[in-house]
Homo-oligomer: A and B are copies of this chain.
Amino acid sequence: MAEIQESKESLQESLQQVIALLHKHKLVEGLVHRQDMPNQPLVETIVHRQNLAELQKKLDELHPADVAYILEALPLEERLEVWDLVKAERDGDILLEVSDAVRQTLIADMDSEELLAAAEQLDTDELADLAHDLPKDVLQDLLESLDAGNRERLQSALSYPEDAVGALMDFDIVTIREDISLEVALRYLRRIGNLPDHTDKLFVVDRHDVLHGVLPLKRIVVSDPELGVDEVMADDAVVFHPEDKATDAAKAFERYDLVTAPVVDENNKLIGRLTVDTVMDFIREEAESDMLSLAGLSEDEDMFSSVWKAVQNRWTWLAVNLVTAFVASRVIGAFEGSIEKIVALAALMPIVAGIGGNSGNQTITMIVRGLALGQVASHNMKTLLKKEMGIALLNGLIWGSVLGVVAYLLYDNVALGVVMTAAMTMNLMLAAVMGVLIPLMMTKFGKDPAVGSSVLITAMTDSGGFFIFLGLASIVLL
């Protein structure tokens, strides 16, 4: 009983062991080279082999998901060393478990033959998850190696966008007719002998594969075997269509606590099923991608991807940031005359801009989350704007006054203190309005509201903050 439990608890330990073995291996290599012994090749080979054998044994004991975890946590060079040691027949399962970015590094390390061998161990729906990352010629070979039915399935799965139900569904469906008794159904199941993972229900179809209902295993085991399938089945199951959005499906899984659900075409013909494990992975990825997007990152960067790849990932939003920072700088440039006269302005202006930026980021994070949960839409925009502006006004008056007093004490200038308070309040209001409007506008124009929102709001509160503060100061103080 405790077996897998222990492996779960010691996942970190496994990782440490793998790292230790890798390092020992390198250390030995290094020592041997340095001492330049006459019998070097022999010693090296023996110790080397011992180490590798131990490492390989360790890896063989681990669940594919655990090997994937270790691969994710290793820098590129060590990751590929470990990858070379993984038994070829496990390659496919492990490739499915790793993140997109890590998968690319592993696939880049394999030749066409190895890839084809790995792919051939997988089901059609698993292949569909992998296919996007495979080189074109391997994918072509793979398609040719499949029988007609599976080739058609794979091609149709590949035709759906990544965020559609069609791309997430699998084909491990067990179907049954409604005109038989449970007793007959049970005999049929015993003949099958083994049901696919996550099978919590059978799909009841007619001979044209049109879905008539679902028969939960739970009902089979508690019902009188004399009863007919049609008497026991549920005919109000939640069904999905392959073109449904995956986010909507995920919400339905959470809302109705589903384990599996049928996927049907426009004629209600059963074509696949959606399972909770796929949905759970999708939810995890979505939430992560929102968090990364806010900072202007795409999810394609793995923790140890090359510097060059990481630079490309972060480039776009840094470039946008460069332009916005330049604009902010020009706003200040326009007030150089005022700053020359009162140099205190230069020291105080970043406070106004900085607090506006942080406050705006708080607002935008709330709204992006609300949009993701479907709680925010244009109908409640006004309420949200009022709330955020109320918060900004309160914060602006309170903290603005504190800073106004500080500014007055530092520079012995009452008017400067008043300008500070007013500018803080106004910039926080600007941050509130933009924090609500930016994500809502992005959604309206069909963009992901999370992508780079943080960079945009900071741009507004920087330029805006400098303009408000320096402008007010120029009017009041000069």
Contacts and interface: CB of A to CB of B under 8 A. Distances in A.
B1 A213 contact: yes
B322 A5 contact: no
Which of A212, A259, A346, A373 counts the most B-chain CB atoms under 10 A from its CB?
A346
Contact of A369 (B292, B339, B387): B292
Interface in A113-137: none
Given A369-B292, A384-B303, A391-B311, A350 B332 contact: yes
A463 to B, nearest CB: 10
A237 B365 contact: no
Contacts of A28: none
Given A190-B222, A287-B291, A317-B358, A2 B391 contact: no
A243 interface: no
B375 A72 contact: yes
A410 B235 CA distance: 73
Interface string A346-365: 11111101110111011001
B1 A235 contact: yes
A111 interface: no
A324 B292 CA distance: 25
B291 A365 contact: yes
Contact of A291 (B198, B217, B294, B380): B294
A222 B193 contact: yes
A1 B212 contact: yes
A344 interface: yes
A195 interface: yes
A318 B458 contact: no
A407 to B, nearest CB: 9
A242 to B, nearest CB: 14
A387 B199 CA distance: 44
Contacts of A75: 380, 383
Interface stretch (A33-41, A47-55, A62-70, A441-449): A62-70
Contacts of A344: 333, 336
A190 to B, nearest CB: 6
Q: Which of A12, A235, A321, A368 has the largest number of chain B CB atoms within 10 A? A: A321
Contacts of A259: 198, 200, 259, 276
A349 B294 CA distance: 25
Nearest to A220: B221
Interface in A1-35: 1-5, 8-9, 11-12, 16, 19
A461 to B, nearest CB: 11
A61 interface: no
Given A65-B255, A239-B2, A380 B73 contact: yes
A160 interface: no
Contact of A339 (B12, B343, B359): B343
B361 A332 contact: no
A370 interface: yes
14 contacts: A1-B211, A2-B239, A4-B238, A8-B255, A66-B255, A72-B375, A190-B222, A192-B222, A283-B284, A284-B287, A304-B380, A304-B384, A333-B347, A345-B346
Given A292-B365, A325-B355, A358-B458, 5 more contacts: A197-B257, A294-B294, A295-B358, A304-B387, A318-B362
